[in-house]
Structure 1
Amino acid sequence: MQGKNVFKINKEEVLKKAREGGNLHFTKEEFRLVDEIVEKNSLIIDQINQHSHNTKERRELFSQLYGCQIPETTDIKAPFNADVGCQTFVENNVFINKDCFFMDLGGIWIDEKVKIGPRVSLITVNHAEDPNHRDDLITGSIHIKRNVCLGANALVTKDVEPNSIYVGSPAKKLRDLRY
Structure 2
Amino acid sequence: MDILERLLKGAHVSAADPGFEKVSAIIDKNSLLEQDLNCNRHTHAEQHQLLEKIMQQKIDPTTQVSLPFHTDFGPHIFLGKNCFINKNSMFVDLGGVYFGNHILVGPNVTFTSLNHTLDPTHRWDVNSASVHIEDNVWIGADVTILPGVTVGKNAVIGAGSVVTKDVKANTVVVGSPAHFLKAI
The interval holding the TM-score normalised by the smaller chain is 0.7 to 0.9
Deviation at 1:133, TM superposition (A): 1.2
Name the counterpart of 1:6: none
Name the counterpart of 1:170: 162
Deviation at 1:154, TM superposition (A): 0.4
Deviation at 1:110, TM superposition (A): 0.7
Could you say if the C-alpha distance between residues 135 and 77 of structure 1 is closer, same or farther in structure 2, counting changes exceeding 3 Å?
same
> Which has the higher mean CA deviation after the structures are superposed, 122-131 or 20-29?
20-29
Distance in 2 (CA, whole Å) between partners of 1:59 and 1:49 is: 12
| SS, match of residue 115 in structure 2 | strand
Deviation at 1:40, TM superposition (A): 0.8
Name the counterpart of 2:91: 102
Distance in 1 (CA, whole Å) between partners of 2:44 and 2:84 is: 11
Name the counterpart of 1:23: 12
Task: Give the alignment's Cα RMSD to 1 decimal.
Answer: 1.8
> Which amino acid in 2 is paired with 1:133?
H
Name the counterpart of 1:161: 152
Name the counterpart of 1:136: 125
Q: Which has the higher helix share?
A: 1
Distance in 2 (CA, whole Å) between partners of 1:111 and 1:177 is: 20
- In the alignment, which of 56, 65, 90 is matched to residue 45 of structure 2? 56
- In the alignment, which of 74, 80, 87 is matched to residue 85 of structure 1? 74
> Which amino acid in 2 is paired with 1:139?
S
Name the counterpart of 1:65: 54
Distance in 2 (CA, whole Å) between partners of 1:149 and 1:50 is: 28
> Which has the higher mean CA deviation after the structures are superposed, 71-80 or 49-58?
49-58
Residues 1:150 and 2:139 aligned together? yes
Instruction: Give TM-score scaled by structure 1 length.
Output: 0.87
| SS, match of residue 29 in structure 1 | coil
Could you say if the C-alpha distance between residues 66 and 170 of structure 1 is closer, same or farther in structure 2, counting changes exceeding 3 Å?
same
> Which amino acid in 1 is paired with 2:45?
K
> Which has the higher mean CA deviation after the structures are superposed, 28-37 or 129-138?
28-37
Would you say how many aligned residue pairs link Structure 1 and Structure 2? 167
Distance in 1 (CA, whole Å) between partners of 2:36 and 2:161 is: 29
Instruction: Give TM-score scaled by structure 2 length.
Output: 0.84
Name the counterpart of 1:5: none
Q: Point out where structure 1 has 5 or more consecutive residues left out of the alignment.
A: 1-9
> Which has the higher mean CA deviation after the structures are superposed, 21-30 or 43-52?
21-30
> Which has the higher mean CA deviation after the structures are superposed, 126-135 or 22-31?
22-31
Deviation at 1:26, TM superposition (A): 5.1
Contact 2:3 2:20 in 1 (8 A): no
Extract structure 1 runs of 4+ deviating beyond 6 A.
Answer: none
* Structure label with greater radius of gyration: 1
Q: Point out where structure 2 has 5 or more consecutive residues left out of the alignment.
A: 174-180
